[in-house]
Chains A and B, each alone.
Chain A
């Protein structure tokens, strides 16, 4: 079974959010402060901590600050085959396909210390949970974003190390000694106890004990004389675990203290240590592994390895023989703002979280219910932003576009999922010229410059814009990933087939069809970027850049071009000549910028695109 849907209302940045989760791994991506962690927290509140130590409670500050919001509601739907969800039949609705469990939190009323939590199993027609014990077997393990692995792996890890040893001792296939005999708890404790006694007999320790015993003897001999001795704590798994520290080094070298290892590997060691807790997942039906920003301090290949490992853990949990008392299923939920992680997984497994302005509500503030805690939230303290969640899997993309996006969305292009403001361009030429143009158009410190820097520029290396437009602009429950998407392309009018015009019209029709007018605009050159730069008044820089790449060929071409008097026709000829020359556009753009020495005339269609992109707040 798995947590297939999470619905959150009135919780932190989430006014009302519904998200579909995948059976094995779901990756939640999005900008900072978008609300990714809140999704994880919702699961932490909805399910039991695997080790029984709850680290997250609801309090009044968790309630979304909105006029219609009087409390928090979190509910989760759990789905699976009949044999897996049958235990939870009391939480099902009339179609008997999923079990829903939820909690409703009401913050404390004036003068009250504690709020109230009410659990509901089922569709809410009977607002209670008649079998609260059942939820015990729906659990989570939380792996927080790592800041200081060395500290986390210090003394605090003893309980975990002890648990690992306990698990090893209770496994059906026990650890064996060199003679093949299974190792028991007694073996270990006897072994450790013997050595500790030996160490305790060291002359220096004996001398130290005597030093302490001597005054004690004098102090007590008038009453009941006492003796003192120094010895190690009796050997138990607990005391041994307390003395152990995780150490690490490159393979083949003597392991050292964590503090001496690189931060990234220390983090991986910490992750490995937390993952040992998942051994206990066999004592639950479902354990949701919540991983927050695993990319911290990890370079991209390590991130990909980690994702692969998590996916394997989840898949393996479902192939276990299933003869245990509980299902032991593991489901993974990861938050990240690393495009490389997002790019490493199936696009359908992605859930995008973003901020958007709170939609105006129909009810004026004074119409808020009187019970809605009038004191705690002043009316002018209402939230201006809320989280919106879009599951890519919910967008209904066709198999074809789904496959294309999986190919297209690499580590770089996945960045477009992290910002509601996106500018899609054809290739490397635009990718170099557009940022330079923005610097020229928008002075440093201006709002528009800031907005441009917050946008994501995606060169798609071609003209197949449609998959990108679909994933960014398809609406789902009234929200879409892209809020302001500028598409910059070429009309290619120099091209006899005239297919550029068709493409532009097709994109505009698509935007219309997706109901995204106002969220996206197509901006285009008449021919291509380079002739437009020429036409905009940058003739010298264009000549210089072309000459640098093709000294002979460009001179011949200019002779033909300069002979044409009609400026429009001249541009078209320039486009044709550059095309037949096989111009390397990236090199050209770099040479152009160098020749222009920092300043040039920005073609009108780029001015229009950049102005539109940065003119309004996104979201």
Chain B
């Protein structure tokens, strides 16, 4: 492609974007990866002003996305655009603020939880068939039509047989927590539906007077209930703009529905963007092969690296060779493309698919003492873990301290414990850091570590008058505390690549991306679907997860594939004009 050609394409793409940034609502933007969705939203917010006394609501699915819009408005020195009467935040907060909070009744301590993982420790599990289950391993779904709840296991539990009464027990546990004022996103949506049913016209009249329009980013992640709420708001007069990429819908397991989304998109009027400012043409072509359904042309690469034709690297997957694969990929990125390791991303559908040497700490062990050791190790030795794991480690440490001093701590959320005992969150934060700094070395024997850690907890009371609750730290065995906590023994050096599950890096990008597809049933069926272009249900979603993975890459993309699938995939890619290299 000659230089004037790309300039003309870029010019046309910018014109299209500018047109969308000022178009009248409602409409739905179907945007490919790297299309600059956030920029489109920010441009609209900066340049299409709303009538006086009205604001614009911009709802996204993650706090990171909301923070990004905040940051861009701030850097344009338009701070007034992030304040009242505008709303910039998560869809959960939008629903909470407008559809739930006004209707709460006094007398209950209402608490919003990100997930049931944040519920009081002693109340977030339930017993069925003499086995303990975690509420956070259940996918609950509320059906606004019937007003009923259902629950399905998720994660590892999804593959194990369930004893009779399992769903009943899960639902009862959820119901009890909800009745005591604990609200996850699911409970918010249930209440929102009920409130819209009783006070809908006035509520939406207020929202339509307050907001000139509601923009929902990453709308492909909307659950069926989300879409029903949005549909109702729109029908009753709140102008709606959806920004979505249905190919990136990877939260179907939480109740998303691509057909419901398609219906709403049709109602609003779809506008399509196929300009990719992120990836090379070769990566765009490879990604296009991962789209299910009728073939569509690859997106147009317009970014700085659009003309680079580095091949897609295909490795033969073998659990024991994952580290070697990673080293080769990183070296290739460094030496051939001058990409530093810190700009590389190593991802897989599940954490189990990642190379062990790079994986770092994952989830805390079940034993409370081991979990404390895990938290201490994670916070002090793995500065590059994801924010989610960091938060989990901080939460584990905080709960350990509170449990040490307050007998009821496990029956409350940490936030409740702080309120009940009148503790100032910033003082507790400092206490946390002091205790963490004083924690013993994890290389000593487990029992000795537990004894030393007990002393540290005892010497860090939250208030001078606090008395111990009587809990103990116990670790047994001959191992050292580090291995008892399940922490990796080798600590990756600075400049390590970003390691994550694919769901965690949604919306992000890296110069080089290596995707592991493990040799499992799901892995194999996913690859079959990739080649055939046809799939439904779980398999279809697994293909979309791979699509999300592939489209994170700017310049270099690699796959580690089960050995017997590598050549067929290579052939498939080749047929679609994608340059590949077997490594």
Q: Which residues of B contact A (CB under 8 A)?
A: 52-53, 55, 83-85, 93, 97-98, 101-108, 110, 199, 202-203, 205-210
Contact = CB atoms under 8 A, between A and B. Distances in A.
A-B pairs with the 10 shortest C-beta distances? A86-B209, A125-B104, A86-B210, A133-B84, A134-B84, A325-B52, A92-B102, A86-B206, A133-B83, A125-B106
A474 B299 CA distance: 78
A136 interface: yes
A89 B206 contact: yes
Contacts of B208: 86
Interface string A537-562: 00000000000000000000000000
A96 B108 contact: no
Nearest to B104: A125
A125 B105 contact: yes
A89 B105 contact: no
A325 B53 contact: yes
A126 B93 CA distance: 14
Chain B binding surface SS class? helix
Nearest to A116: B424
Given A89-B203, A130-B93, 9 more contacts: A86-B206, A86-B207, A87-B85, A89-B210, A92-B102, A122-B101, A125-B108, A325-B53, A327-B53
A323 interface: yes
B84 A87 contact: yes
B104 A126 contact: yes
B110 A125 contact: yes
The residue among B55, B102, B106 with the most chain A CB atoms within 10 A of its own CB is B102
A90 B203 CA distance: 11
A131 interface: yes
A324 B51 CA distance: 9
A87 B210 contact: yes
A124 B110 CA distance: 11
A133 B207 CA distance: 18
A285 B209 CA distance: 14
A123 interface: yes
Contacts of B52: 323-326
A90 B209 contact: no
Given A125-B110, A324-B52, A325-B52, A93 B102 contact: yes
Interface in A89-144: 89-90, 92-94, 96, 122-126, 130-131, 133-134, 136-137
A92 B203 CA distance: 10
A83 B209 contact: yes
Contacts of B85: 87, 134
Interface in A54-108: 82-83, 85-87, 89-90, 92-94, 96
Contacts of A326: 52-53
A130 to B, nearest CB: 6
Nearest to B87: A131
Contacts of B206: 82, 85-86, 89, 92, 96
B307 to A, nearest CB: 47
A2 to B, nearest CB: 16
Contacts of A130: 93, 97, 101
Contacts of A126: 101, 104, 110
A131 B97 contact: yes
Contacts of A322: 53
B106 A82 contact: no
A522 to B, nearest CB: 46
A89 B98 contact: yes
A82 B97 contact: no
Contacts of B101: 90, 122, 125-126, 130
Chain A binding surface SS class? loop
A35 B47 CA distance: 51
A89 B206 CA distance: 7
Contacts of A85: 206
A96 B97 contact: no
A504 B203 CA distance: 54
B106 A123 contact: yes
B202 A96 contact: yes
Contacts of A82: 202, 205-206, 209
Contacts of B199: 94, 96
Nearest to A130: B97
Contacts of A131: 84, 97
The residue among A96, A124, A125, A136 with the most chain B CB atoms within 10 A of its own CB is A125
Contacts of B97: 90, 130-131
B313 to A, nearest CB: 48
Contact of A94 (B55, B102, B209): B102
Nearest to B110: A126
Contact of A124 (B55, B84, B106, B205): B106
A131 B52 CA distance: 19
Given A136-B84, A325-B53, A90 B106 contact: no
A579 B203 CA distance: 68
B464 to A, nearest CB: 12
A225 B432 CA distance: 63
B112 to A, nearest CB: 9
B207 A89 contact: yes
B90 to A, nearest CB: 12
A517 B93 CA distance: 55
Nearest to B100: A126
A89 to B, nearest CB: 5
8 contacts: A86-B209, A89-B206, A96-B102, A122-B101, A123-B104, A125-B106, A133-B83, A325-B53
B53 A90 contact: no
A133 B81 CA distance: 12
B102 A89 contact: yes
Contacts of B210: 86-87, 89
Contacts of B98: 89-90
A103 B417 CA distance: 23
Interface in A330-375: none
Contacts of B93: 130
B96 to A, nearest CB: 8
Contacts of B107: 125
Interface in A234-277: none
The residue among A83, A134, A324 with the most chain B CB atoms within 10 A of its own CB is A83
B213 to A, nearest CB: 14
A137 to B, nearest CB: 7
B252 to A, nearest CB: 31
